Amino acid sequence: MPAREGYVTTEDGVRLFFQKIGSGAQTVIIPNGIYLFDDFERIAGGRTLIFYDLRNRGRSDTVSDGAKLARGIHNDVDDLDAVRRHFGVTRIDAIGHSYMGLMVALYAMKYPAHVNRVVQIGPTQPNAAKPYPAHLTGADATLAEVLSKLAQLSKEPRSEDPIEACRRFWSVLRPIYVVDPADAAKINWGRCDLPNELTFMRYWNENILPSIQSLHFTAEELAKVQSPVLTVHGARDRSSPYGVEGTGHRCCRTHGY
């Protein structure tokens, strides 16, 4: 099934690159999900799947105006709605992986009338400062080894080609996402050929992470979510604590996914 490509322009003029596949009545939007395209296109039957790159990520516009990055994850929430409006869809299903799992929950709080359901895959915990006991995390020897290697990489002089540096970073990081280390090579999320991804860590540290750390959910805010939320994680998820309370108030209804 051929995919259509193009750009969505946000209210502040940032172009977001998208790939769209399928033409079904059920519209599923996967923010920051283009690296998942090959895995998810198999569910395109009867659906319209829209994958897009976030602002200042992937093949979307590089943003040099700091004011257009300052809101961090909150920009991403409003950009998701810009994508929805661009395609003329009233209600969507949203799938978010990693910190996008948190973002789609924020979207469901802010725009509940436009959400059918939400799927979070290995989502970032809702309250960044909350500690979790070891038995509710995947803090094992593999994670410790990866963190040690990343620390060593950060101390090395930045003389090598940035693309090669990006590839080295991902070669070190990807074992945390698999059970069998032999499967680590199947993780190909780095997109190291794209300039935006080579500079992502600065954007993450200066804008995205602080915006996440400032979140403090209340029961009243969570109650704004009117759609079912399915949260999926590994049995020993190393990327986020899996004993975390859900970021929505309904859970565990798959509705055909």
Q: Measured between alpha carbons, how far is 75 from 54 in angstroms, rounded to an integer?
A: 9
Domain membership of residue 17 (yes or no) is yes
Encode pLDDT of 33-79 as tens digits. 999 998 898 889 999 999 999 999 999 999 999 999 999 999 999 99
Give the model's confidence band at 244: pLDDT under 50 very low, under 70 low, under 90 confident, else very high.
low
Q: Give the model confidence (pLDDT) of 206-233 as tens digits.
A: 999 999 999 998 899 999 999 999 999 8
Bridge partners (DSSP) listed for residue 9 = 15
Give me the pLDDT at residue 210, please. Answer: 96
The predicted model gives 199-208 an average pLDDT of: 94
**Helix intervals (H) in 42-133:** 73-86, 99-110
In this predicted structure, the answer to whether residue 32 has a pLDDT above a threshold of 90 is yes
Q: What is the pLDDT of residues 118-174, one digit of tens each?
A: 999 999 888 888 888 888 888 899 999 999 999 998 888 776 788 998 999 999 999
* Token output for 95: 């799938």
Alpha helices in the chain (DSSP H): 37-40, 73-86, 99-110, 141-155, 162-173, 195-198, 200-203, 209-213, 219-222
* pLDDT for position 101: 96
Domain presence at residue 213: yes
| pLDDT value for 94 | 98
pLDDT at 23 over 60: yes
In Å, how far are 57, 92, 104 from 29, measured between CA atoms? 17, 7, 10
The reply to whether 188 falls in a domain is no
pTM of the predicted model as reported, rounded to 2 decimal places: 0.89
Residue 153's pLDDT is what? Answer: 86
Does residue 119 form part of some domain? yes
CB-based contacts of 67-72 (< 8 A; 24+ apart in sequence): 68/12, 68/14, 69/203, 69/206, 69/207, 70/207, 71/207, 71/211, 72/207, 72/208, 72/209, 72/210, 72/211, 72/212
Total domain count, the chain? 1
Mean pLDDT rounded to a whole number for the chain:
89
What is the domain-level CATH number for residue 58? 3.40.50.1820
Looking at per-residue pLDDT, the higher value among 246 and 139 belongs to 139
Residue 251 pLDDT? 37
Position 250 scores a pLDDT of: 36
Domain carrying residue 33: 4-133+209-232
* Residue 107 within a domain: yes
pLDDT of residue 158: 72
Q: Residue 62 carries which DSSP code?
A: P
The answer to whether residue 167 sits within a structural domain is no
Which pLDDT score, from 0 to 100, does residue 114 have? 98
pLDDT, residue 129, reads 86
**What backbone torsions phi and psi does residue 172 show, to the nearest 5 degrees?**
-80, -40
Reduced to 3 states, what is the DSSP secondary structure of residue 208?
A: helix
pLDDT of residue 240: 84
Name the β-bridge partners of 21: 49
| pLDDT on residue 249 | 36
- pLDDT at position 252 is 37
Residue 188 confidence class, pLDDT cut points 50, 70, 90: confident
Please check whether residue 193 lies inside any domain of the structure: no
pLDDT over 90 at 99, yes or no: yes
Instruction: Identify whether the C-beta of residue 91 lies closer than 8 Å to the C-beta of residue 114.
Output: yes
Evaluate if residue 108 carries a pLDDT over 70: yes
The answer to whether residue 45 sits within a structural domain is yes
pLDDT beyond 70 at 253: no
